[in-house]
Amino acid sequence: MAESMYGLKRTHRCTEVTKEEIGSTVTLMGWVQKSRNKGGIVFVDLRDRSGIMQIIFENGDIDGEGFEKAGRLRSEFVIAVTGRVEARSGAVNENLKTGEIEVRANALRILSESETPPFPVEENSKTREEVRLKYRYLDLRRPDLQRNLIMRSQVAVLVRQFLANEGFLEIETPILNKSTPEGARDYLVPSRVHPGSFYALPQSPQIFKQLLMCSGYDRYFQIAKCFRDEDLRADRQPEFTQIDMELSFVDVDDVIDVNERMLAFLFRQVLGVEVQLPIQRMTWIDAMNRFGSDKPDLRFGMELTDVSEVVKGCEFAVFKNALEAGGSVRGINAKGQGAMPRKKIDKLVEFAKGYGAKGLAYIAIQEDGSVKSSFAKFMQEEEMKSLIEAMQGEAGDLLLFAADKTKLVWDVLGALRLELARQMELFDKDEYRFVWITEFPLLEWSEEEQRFTAMHHPFTMPFEEDIPLLDTDPGAVRAKAYDIVLNGNEIGGGSVRIHQNDVQEKMFEALGFEKAQAYKQFGFLLDAFKYGVPPHAGLAYGLDRLVMLMAKEESIREVIAFPKVKDASCLMSEAPNTVDVKQLDELGIALKAQESEQ
């Protein structure tokens, strides 16, 4: 049934044919998007990667056998058509790049037929994602998904081009690695040659890129596959792709400089968007105080206000207890939301509870200046006035307060701010707003482990002037770490690394590590550090998320060709699957009986 394309050569992709070609003969190949017979003429929309071309089959232009074949065409048949380019006989189609022309066919080959696909291949598919993922090879034909993957390819090409021009070398690091106890859960690979031993898939090329700096490669990058065996959230995949880089003989400003120029290049080339340089920088503490988040969305205001000082004398137990426990009281002002119905406010309270808040206190200022409030009865009139004033509350505003440990207050109000902004449509979806977050704390206190842990990783350099604080007030030490944030999403992060033995030892001390333990965990890196280490720093982007934001998608699955779903399986290939016992025998492993089966 299927014909060969032997002897035939495609001359153009569909939308490469322009008005200039009118009168000339072209050969196009692609998929039948749709086909209809109207008054004895067969009209076919032919689709390829570039777009659509309308093809006209009329008996006489094409011989009888060809015309008969044209009548049999159905969606997703693959055909080769030769014909003459003409100006459209019917109405111009403004929606098509090729809307002013069409091709009058004089030859047709059916290269492959198609069964009726389980769902139509069309933009903005309404088909359930599970079905789309099962038939991913069909889903991937949809123009929106094709645009995303084409953009992703462009981004990768441009990143490489930019970094190569800046003197970066792309160096591949191994996928089959050693398992390290620190960090997220590793994917393991049993070794056949060494039964009982396992490789681990890398969570990042961190140690290798630092080794490459020790080895003098100066500037390294890689678009690298990384793996984490964690339970998946909406925007996580068991394997994900990082744009990973590391530079020698640099400080924070050097890393920021090259990355700003890279982002500007990328957004200009791919989206035609001009990123204003330098990108704004904000310290971590400012970001938390103002936006309740270390990845603030700066497309809108609605900043947090610390009202602890204002309410410190009041009798409202929620505020009082929080302050007495060393916490704080902070609020946000939802401008113009003073008339929000009680039910909707209750939903916001529920929302806040989802982030760990015990509740949410509010003041709704009516248009007439009177207030409705959940806690007015516990407050003096003067106190209320001061509070509203501190919040710059005006008629028609809704003031929302959280009181608790400061970290929790930040989290709650940070999330609430985003939620309100969504409801109030405060941001422009076409705006790309970047910000660098700097001066992260080096250490954070782990309640669970009752010790300080590294916020970034144990090789992150503290600020020189803060090093003495490692002995006296470790929590106050600032790290030379930085994140790049786009529209409220962390798209990349990194740090200057420690390259001095004495600082590294102080760091391990602060973390409560024994030296021997440090060696066990980071052995060959520390060995390498004995033989001359350059100062170095790096940064890594999540490519999937970056492209998702550039493509204005809600899920990274829309920018990954063959993604996995929440249970880390692939609905198309049905990976993972069972294997032969023989394969396991060779690896020296066996399945454990399921507890439920015992």
598 binds its own copies (CB under 8 A): no
Q: Which CB sits closer to its own copies, 240 or 440?
A: 240
3-state DSSP assignment of residue 178: coil
At residue 493, φ and ψ (nearest 5 deg) are -165, 160
234 binds its own copies (CB under 8 A): no
49 binds its own copies (CB under 8 A): yes
Residue with tokens 């991937």: 140
Which 243-272 residues touch its own copies, going by CB under 8 A?
248-249, 251
The minimum distance between CB 369 and its own copies, in angstroms, equals 56
The minimum distance between CB 71 and its own copies, in angstroms, equals 18
Q: Which CB sits closer to its own copies, 6 or 20?
A: 6
Distance CA 158, CA 464 (A): 36
Q: Is 499 annotated as a binding residue?
A: no
581 binds its own copies (CB under 8 A): no
Which 136-155 residues touch its own copies, going by CB under 8 A?
136-138, 140-141, 146, 149-150, 152-153
The minimum distance between CB 464 and its own copies, in angstroms, equals 6
The minimum distance between CB 452 and its own copies, in angstroms, equals 23
Which 401-440 residues touch its own copies, going by CB under 8 A?
none
At residue 355, φ and ψ (nearest 5 deg) are -100, 10
Q: Is 517 annotated as a binding residue?
A: no
Q: Is 509 annotated as a binding residue?
A: no
190 binds its own copies (CB under 8 A): yes
Kindly report the three-state secondary structure assignment for every residue of 3-43: CCCCCCCCCCCHHHCCHHHCCCEEEEEEEEEEEEEECCEEE
The minimum distance between CB 521 and its own copies, in angstroms, equals 12
Closest CA to 247 of 226, 223, 217: 217
Q: Is 76 annotated as a binding residue?
A: no
Q: Which CB sits closer to its own copies, 91 or 590?
A: 590
Q: Is 237 annotated as a binding residue?
A: yes
The minimum distance between CB 385 and its own copies, in angstroms, equals 50
Distance CA 200, CA 184 (A): 12
**Binder to its own copies among 41, 107, 131, 156 (CB under 8 A)?**
156
**Binder to its own copies among 18, 24, 89, 112 (CB under 8 A)?**
112
At residue 180, φ and ψ (nearest 5 deg) are -115, 140
Closest CA to 141 of 54, 73, 74, 51: 51
Which 67-106 residues touch its own copies, going by CB under 8 A?
76-78, 80
Which 480-499 residues touch its own copies, going by CB under 8 A?
499
Report whether 337 contacts 424 (CB < 8 A). yes
The minimum distance between CB 379 and its own copies, in angstroms, equals 51
Q: Is 230 annotated as a binding residue?
A: yes
Q: Which CB sits closer to its own copies, 202 or 488?
A: 202
Q: Which CB sits closer to its own copies, 217 or 432?
A: 217
Report whether 108 contacts 5 (CB < 8 A). no
**Binder to its own copies among 96, 107, 189, 426 (CB under 8 A)?**
189
The minimum distance between CB 81 and its own copies, in angstroms, equals 12
| CA distances from residue 369 to 338, 364, 433 in whole angstroms, order as listed | 10, 9, 35
443-482 mask for its own copies (x: CB under 8 A)? ---------------------x------------------
541 binds its own copies (CB under 8 A): no
The minimum distance between CB 182 and its own copies, in angstroms, equals 13
238 binds its own copies (CB under 8 A): yes
Distance CA 340, CA 351 (A): 15
Number of residues that bind its own copies (CB under 8 A): 127
Q: Which residue pairs from 258-261 have beta carbons closer than 8 angstroms and sit at least 24 positions apart in sequence? A: 258/166, 259/484, 259/492, 259/539, 261/162
The minimum distance between CB 471 and its own copies, in angstroms, equals 18
Report whether 34 contacts 22 (CB < 8 A). no
Looking at 168-176, 264-272, 281-289, 349-357, which segment touches its own copies (CB under 8 A)? 168-176
357-386 mask for its own copies (x: CB under 8 A)? ------------------------------
Computed over its alpha carbons, how large is the radius of gyration of the chain? 30
The sign of the torsion formed by the CA atoms of 425, 427, 428, 432 equals: negative
The set of residues, in sequence order, having a beta carbon less than 8 Å from that of 48 and lying 6+ positions away, is: 13, 14, 28, 29, 30, 31
40 binds its own copies (CB under 8 A): no
Q: Please provide the DSSP assignment of 302-327 as one string.
A: --EEE-HHHHTT---HHHHHHHHTT-
575 binds its own copies (CB under 8 A): yes
At residue 93, φ and ψ (nearest 5 deg) are -100, 105
Q: Is 229 annotated as a binding residue?
A: yes
Distance CA 48, CA 598 (A): 55
Q: Is 557 annotated as a binding residue?
A: no
The minimum distance between CB 18 and its own copies, in angstroms, equals 17
273 binds its own copies (CB under 8 A): no
At residue 482, φ and ψ (nearest 5 deg) are -150, 145
184 binds its own copies (CB under 8 A): no
**Binder to its own copies among 94, 429, 531, 598 (CB under 8 A)?**
531
The 8-class DSSP code of residue 494 comes to E
- Region of residue 566 (phi > 0: left; psi between -120 and 50: alpha; otherwise: beta): alpha
Q: Is 342 annotated as a binding residue?
A: no
Q: Where are the alpha helices (DSSP H) in 395-479?
A: 406-424, 469-472
Distance CA 173, CA 537 (A): 18
The minimum distance between CB 162 and its own copies, in angstroms, equals 11
Q: Is 494 annotated as a binding residue?
A: no
Report whether 572 contacts 562 (CB < 8 A). yes
530 binds its own copies (CB under 8 A): yes
Instruction: Return binding residues for ATP.
Output: 228-230, 237, 490, 542-545
Going by the annotation, the residues of the binding site for L-aspartate are 182, 228, 456, 497
